[in-house]
């Protein structure tokens, strides 16, 4: 191991981590507002990746330009899924049921993607995916920087929407307390539907960058969803800032362990950190300490 490899791991981790943070933000937003654990988030990322892939292969549309199509498409998919399935869930076992429903949705999408695209790995290609530049004596592909900028822009937009608009205020109110939000006249049902749409829409961007930096097929979604779940638990479920920080921290840590020790164990480090943090802070890094256990 040398220091340049370490610097590489850190920079790489921060750049990639921001993309994970974006995807995890969608997941934690959905949980915070709706009490829904969306285990289909992983397959939606892959769906986003395949959409960008198909656009670039069949119509020659650049993956970044293609986002103009894929982000609204996945937003609509999210709205439809929420209206058709998720919104119908109620009762004390709502959260547990939501895992089953979203898992079922992810099975259907996985099967369909396998049929359409086959199970062979693909990767999104563009000139900047392979083109590199030098920094601190190490080479980076441009895609990592572009991905980072994209994630930063979208996260900023999301932040501005949440903290500077009236609709954002109603989302934050629903995050804090659904009943109280409904009492002051917020249409919580509408807020939920749109939040689910936003939560899925960000996967289009995340999936595009993921698909350009990794070879993927539909079953890659299992690995993705387990990481995303760990990130949001670590950050504190429902905490947007927590998801952002935990996303960057965890991916950076994973890269460092991969360099210092072995890539085989890097993913385990991910889970071990989770276990340690939760033994000390069961509510996660930024989670609200709730008086009620349930």
Partner 1 sequence: MLQKKNLLWLAALAIALFVPSIITNPAYRQIAVITLIFTACATSWNMFSGYSGYVALGSAAFYGTGAYTMGLLAVHWHVPASGDMFWLVPVGGLAAMLVAIPVGLIALRVRRHTFVVITIAIFFVFQLAAINFGFTGGTGGLTLPYVPWLIQDYHIPFYYVALAILVFAIALSAAVRRSRFGLQLLAIRDDEDRALGLGVKVFPVKLTGFAMSAFTIGMCGALYAMMQGQIYPQFVFDPIFDISIALMAFFGGFGTLLGPILGGLILESSQQYLTVSYSNGSLYLILFGVLFLLVVLFMPQGIVVYVKEWWTKRQDRMAAASEAALAPGINS
DSSP tag of 194: H
DSSP tag of 121: -
Residues 37-96 that bind partner 1 (CB under 8 A): 37, 85, 88-89, 91-93, 95-96
Interface with partner 1 (CB under 8 A), residue from 80, 99, 129, 145: 99
> Residue 218 Cβ, how far from partner 1 at the closest point, in Å?
9
| Cα dihedral 65→70→73→74 (10° resolution) | -140
Tokens in use for 201?
């829409």
Site string for partner 1, 216-255 (x = CB under 8 A): ------x---x--xx-xx---x------------------
Site string for partner 1, 116-135 (x = CB under 8 A): --------------------
H runs (alpha helix) in 214-262: 220-235, 240-260
Residue/partner pairs of 195-198 with CB below 8 Å, 24 or more apart: 195/29, 195/30, 195/33, 195/34, 195/171, 196/30, 196/34, 196/36, 196/38, 196/78, 196/79, 196/81, 196/82, 196/86, 197/75, 197/76, 197/78, 197/79, 197/82, 198/26, 198/29, 198/75, 198/78, 198/158
From the list 71-79, 111-119, 193-201, 239-247, the region that binds partner 1 by CB under 8 A is: 111-119
Site string for partner 1, 176-195 (x = CB under 8 A): --------------------
> Residue 99 Cβ, how far from partner 1 at the closest point, in Å?
6
Q: Which residues bind partner 1 (CB under 8 A)?
A: 31, 35, 37, 85, 88-89, 91-93, 95-97, 99-101, 103-108, 110-112, 114-115, 222, 226, 229-230, 232-233, 237, 264-265, 267-268, 271-272, 274-275, 278-279, 282-284, 290-294
């Amino acid at each position: 191991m040398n220091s340049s490899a370490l610097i590489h791991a850190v920079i790489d981790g921060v750049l990639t981590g921001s993309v994970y943070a974006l995807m995890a933000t969608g997941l934690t937003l959905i949980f915070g507002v709706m009490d829904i654990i969306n285990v289909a988030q992983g397959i939606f990322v892959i769906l986003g990746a395949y959409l960008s892939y198909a656009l670039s292969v069949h119509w020659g549309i650049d993956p970044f330009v293609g986002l103009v199509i894929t982000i609204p498409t996945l937003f609509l998919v999210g709205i439809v899924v929420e209206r058709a399935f998720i919104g119908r869930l109620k009762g004390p076992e709502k959260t547990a049921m939501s895992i089953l429903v979203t898992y079922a949705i992810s099975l259907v999408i996985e099967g369909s993607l396998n049929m359409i695209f086959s199970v062979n790995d693909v990767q999104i290609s563009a000139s900047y995916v392979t083109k590199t530049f030098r920094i601190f004596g190490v080479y980076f592909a441009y895609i990592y920087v572009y991905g980072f900028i994209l994630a930063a822009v979208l996260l900023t937009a999301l932040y501005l929407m949440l903290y500077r608009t009236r609709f954002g205020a109603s989302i934050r109110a629903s995050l804090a307390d659904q009943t109280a939000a409904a009492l002051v006249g917020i249409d919580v049902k509408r807020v939920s539907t749109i939040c689910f749409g936003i939560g899925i829409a960000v996967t289009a961007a995340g999936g595009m960058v993921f698909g350009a930096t990794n070879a993927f097929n539909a079953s890659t979604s299992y690995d993705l969803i387990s990481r995303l779940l760990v990130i949001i638990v670590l950050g504190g479920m429902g905490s947007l800032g927590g998801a952002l920080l935990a996303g960057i921290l965890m991916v950076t840590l994973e890269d460092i362990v991969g360099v210092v020790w072995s890539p085989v164990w890097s993913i385990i480090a991910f889970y071990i950190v989770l276990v340690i943090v939760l033994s000390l802070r069961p509510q996660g890094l930024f989670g609200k300490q709730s008086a009620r256990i349930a």
